[in-house]
Amino acid sequence: MEPRIDKVDFEARRKASLTLREHVLKVLEDIEGLRPPKLLIPKRTLSNTIYDPEKGILVLGEEVFERNLLDMGEARRFMQTLLMASIIYQALVENEYPTIRDLYYRGKHTITFRDLKGSIKEENTWDEQVESDSALRDLEVMTGLLREHMLILSKEKGKVVGDMRIKSGGDVIDLSRLGHGAYAIESTPDLIEFLDYNAEYVLVVEKDAVFQQLHRIGFWRQYKCILVTGAGQPDRATRRFVRRLNEELGLPVYVITDSDPYGWNIYSVFKVGSITLSYESERLATPKARFLGVSMTDIFGDKNKKPYLTEEERRNFIIKAKERDLKRAKELMNYSWFQTNKWKKEINMFLEKKVKLEIEALAGKGLKFLAFQYIPQKIQTGDWID
């Protein structure tokens, strides 16, 4: 029995395989025209990674390089790029869903050839996954197809609940009827179709356990929100899913993390993208995402605001920042999207107080406090950082 193929899945395969084909056909044309075959690949270097203030995300710049088959130093990587294209093409037309680890295994073999002097030599297509991963990234930027478009799976970590119906793989899933559990967001979130929903915003919670608590206490039901967690550093699928909720449904997105540079960085990855993989941001980042908290002024208050914690709670809950937290905070200060007044204040307050706070401390103060006071009050009074 062949697997059930639904229309959305089929269409995704058709599109991706056609695009791959087009790119490879250009190489064939070069060969038939007796021109040295080459690939034109946008540079994935840091110097070609640019923050686009208009879009509010990280993007790849204009720099492109040529990879030539006839250049001895590039021939191997030329071969790797085309090998990756052919493995993925085959998986697409055969209705497979490889992972990046599979792609590595599928391509891994030894090529036997004669060198210029006629002796037999051996060369591995690739030895480590870092090489096949790099070939995949080259292919992504070259074709403009992200791995999700090519139906390549990665580990799933994200979860969602809320008053919303979606369609995936031919099934209608009611995200409001999942009991104490949740829907594990699939690796290919573009195959999800949004049906109907009754929600006013999206709340992204850094920590899985806090997500579970808010879910059980009925937070999303009472405050009409779609509740999402990336369970720590979010995977691509969670980021894409959140982006789609924001872009296609126009729902505002609030992110809640620990009050420390690690939490800020998670927010930053949702909002502007990942620095080392900026080419994904165009589809994965949610530039309008707002940092709801926990903020330093929530802990200590400021001239316009009473702190959410008492003196005693602060003594019990706050944790001393480590040297690497302070270092990370100073790094974040250099990023242009952290150079707003509110962020400067936040980071400076952290550097001055040298303490951090986990969301769990607020749940420790009382889950009802977190769910029915802290979060709704912050949203209602517009107390977030953009």
| 363 touching a second copy, by CB under 8 A | yes
| 316 touching a second copy, by CB under 8 A | yes
Q: Which of residues 23, 137, 244, 365 is near a second copy by CB under 8 A?
A: 365
3-class DSSP state for residue 207? coil
User: Residue 64: beta bridge partners?
Assistant: 42
The H or E element spanning position 193 is strand 193-197
Q: Which of 335, 207, 190 is nearest to 271 (CA)?
A: 335
Angle at 252 between CA 249 and CA 258, to 5 degrees: 135
Q: Which of residues 96, 133, 163, 247 is near a second copy by CB under 8 A?
A: 96
Q: Which of residues 50, 59, 75, 217 is near a second copy by CB under 8 A?
A: 217
| 68 touching a second copy, by CB under 8 A | no
Q: Which of residues 50, 59, 79, 178 is near a second copy by CB under 8 A?
A: 178
| 85 touching a second copy, by CB under 8 A | no
DSSP assignment letter at 259: B
SS3 letters across 128-169: CHHHHHHHHHHHHHHHCCCCCCCCCECCCCCEEECCEEEEEC
Mark residues 226-255: x for contact with a second copy by CB under 8 A, - for none: -----x------------------------
Residue with tokens 């709340």: 203
State which residue, 218 or 301, has the beta carbon closest to a second copy. 218
Q: Which of residues 75, 364, 373, 376 is near a second copy by CB under 8 A?
A: 364
Active site annotation includes 97: no
Q: Which of 238, 220, 344 is nearest to 289 (CA)?
A: 238
Q: Which of 7, 74, 62, 14 is nearest to 38 (CA)?
A: 74
The span from the CA of 119 to the CA of 181, in Å, is: 62
User: Nearest distance from residue 342's CB to a second copy, in Å?
Assistant: 27
Render the burial of 130-161: b for 16+ CB within 10 Å, e for the rest.
ebbbbbbbbbbbbbebbbbbbbbbeeebbbbb
State which residue, 45 or 95, has the beta carbon closest to a second copy. 95
- In the region spanning residues 343 to 362, those forming contacts with a second copy, defined by CB under 8 A, are 358, 360-361
Mark residues 97-116: x for contact with a second copy by CB under 8 A, - for none: xxx-xx-xxx-xxx------
Identified catalytic residue from 105, 197, 223, 267: 105
| 179 touching a second copy, by CB under 8 A | yes
Cβ neighbours of 21 (radius 10 Å): 13
Q: Which of residues 114, 180, 303, 320 is near a second copy by CB under 8 A?
A: 180
| 117 touching a second copy, by CB under 8 A | no
Contact 214, 227 (CB under 8 A): yes
**Residues contributing to the site for a second copy (CB under 8 A):** 1-4, 94-99, 101-102, 104-106, 108-110, 153-156, 159, 166-173, 177-188, 191-192, 208-210, 212-213, 216-218, 221-222, 231, 312, 315-317, 358, 360-361, 363-368
Annotated active-site positions, please? 105
